């Protein structure tokens, strides 16, 4: 069964009004938030991000590149299942088909659990995560696969050496002990602020150089709630949009194999978080394209 039989079309990301014959980027929405806690509603995230994309200019000042010149297709939203494992398997299948067609997948969440599915579509990849949370619990509310445990499951599948988390500031003792025992690397938001972008970039590039490919996941709660209040689990003292984009600009080269942007819960703000998410997507595309020029 093709992914086109598993999705339904709503809004179109970017709304550039053209059907690309050979798209290089494929947008997929995954409106799944069945394990969400505190403020559910990220199932409304994909279309909120699309709506925001229709009202943002696609020209990137950082690279002087216009994303309107890039062939992008929007596959619509996955018809999700209640079960996290089954939904993750559907995501893996569809992202795998996108990759087989030599397109760059961009997955719109939905909760962060979906990353467990999309990353498994790649045979050899490391995962760079921007997130306020470590998400390394072994179990949460009786679930072994949820938005609070998916990274623990990825550690088991990929190995902790293939994971780096940036912007962390909410964690449990269990997670901290696990990360230290396994040697999983992470930087807190406070460390990013104190080290400065240049030193953080140096550390990330040293780590990235060890791997053939890199999957990028951005949980919108990595940003301070002042910039992205509409998320499921907001945490004070986060990164600024400028800090995040400065880091992405330096990292997003040819090794980036895929991207997801997750945890926008649009019912909790005026649309700002969806705007930030859409802007991140535009910029990541521009960063990748600029490295090819």
How confident is the model over 167-222, as pLDDT tens digits? 999 999 999 999 999 999 999 999 999 999 999 999 999 999 999 999 999 999 99
275: CATH: 3.40.800.10
Write out the residue range of the structural domain in which residue 205 sits. Answer: 3-292
Cα(33)–Cα(216) distance, integer angstroms: 20
Distance CA 44, CA 28 (A): 14
In this predicted structure, what is the pLDDT of residue 4? Answer: 57
Is the pLDDT at 21 greater than 90? The verdict is no
Share of the chain above pLDDT 70, in %: 94
For residue 18, pLDDT over 60 is answered with no
Cα-only R_g, the chain = 17
Find all residues with CB under 8 Å of 65, minimum gap 6, and list them: 59, 286, 289, 290, 293
Q: How far is CA 167 from CA 12, 68, 69, 196, 277, in A?
A: 30, 30, 32, 13, 16
Structural domain count of the chain? 1
Backbone angles phi, psi at 79, to 5 degrees: -80, 95
Q: Considering the entire predicted model, what is its pTM?
A: 0.96
* Beta-bridge partner residues of 59: 66
- For 209, counting Cβ atoms within 10 Å of its Cβ (0-12 exposed, 13-18 middle, 19+ buried), the class is exposed
Q: How far is CA 121 from CA 116, 158, 203, 282, in A?
A: 9, 12, 27, 23
292 pLDDT band, cuts 50/70/90, is confident
Judged against a pLDDT cut of 70, whether residue 121 lies above it is answered with: yes
195: phi then psi, degrees, rounded to nearest 5? -75, -35
The Cα–Cα gap between 221 and 277 comes to 11
pLDDT of residue 11: 80
Examine the pLDDT at 17 and tell me if it is beyond 80: no
């Amino acid at each position: 069964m093709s992914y086109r039989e598993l999705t339904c079309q709503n809004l179109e990301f970017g709304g550039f009004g053209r059907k690309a014959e050979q798209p290089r980027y494929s947008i997929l929405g995954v409106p799944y938030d069945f394990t969400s806690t505190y403020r559910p509603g990220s199932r409304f995230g994909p279309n909120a991000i699309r709506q925001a994309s229709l009202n943002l200019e696609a020209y990137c000042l950082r690279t002087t590149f216009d994303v309107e010149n890039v062939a992008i297709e929007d596959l619509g939203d996955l018809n999700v299942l209640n079960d996290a494992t089954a939904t993750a398997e559907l995501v893996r299948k569809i992202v795998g088909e996108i990759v087989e067609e030599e397109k760059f997948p961009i997955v719109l969440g939905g909760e962060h659990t979906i990353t467990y599915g999309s990353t498994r579509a790649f045979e050899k990849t490391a995962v760079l995560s921007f997130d306020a949370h470590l998400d390394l619990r072994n179990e949460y509310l009786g679930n072994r696969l949820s938005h609070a445990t998916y990274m623990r499951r990825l550690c088991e599948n990929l190995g902790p050496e293939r994971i780096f988390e940036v912007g962390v500031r909410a964690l449990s003792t269990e997670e901290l002990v696990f990360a230290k025992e396994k040697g999983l690397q992470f930087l807190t938001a406070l460390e990013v602020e104190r080290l400065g972008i240049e030193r953080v970039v140096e550390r990330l590039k040293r780590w990235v150089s060890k791997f053939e490919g890199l999957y990028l996941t951005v949980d919108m709660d990595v940003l301070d709630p002042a910039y992205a209040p509409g998320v499921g689990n907001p945490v004070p003292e986060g990164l600024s949009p400028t800090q995040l984009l400065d880091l992405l600009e330096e990292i997003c080269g040819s090794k980036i194999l895929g991207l997801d942007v997750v945890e926008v819960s649009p019912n909790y703000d005026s649309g700002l978080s969806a705007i930030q998410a859409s802007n991140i997507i535009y910029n990541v595309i521009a960063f990748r394209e600029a490295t090819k020029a």
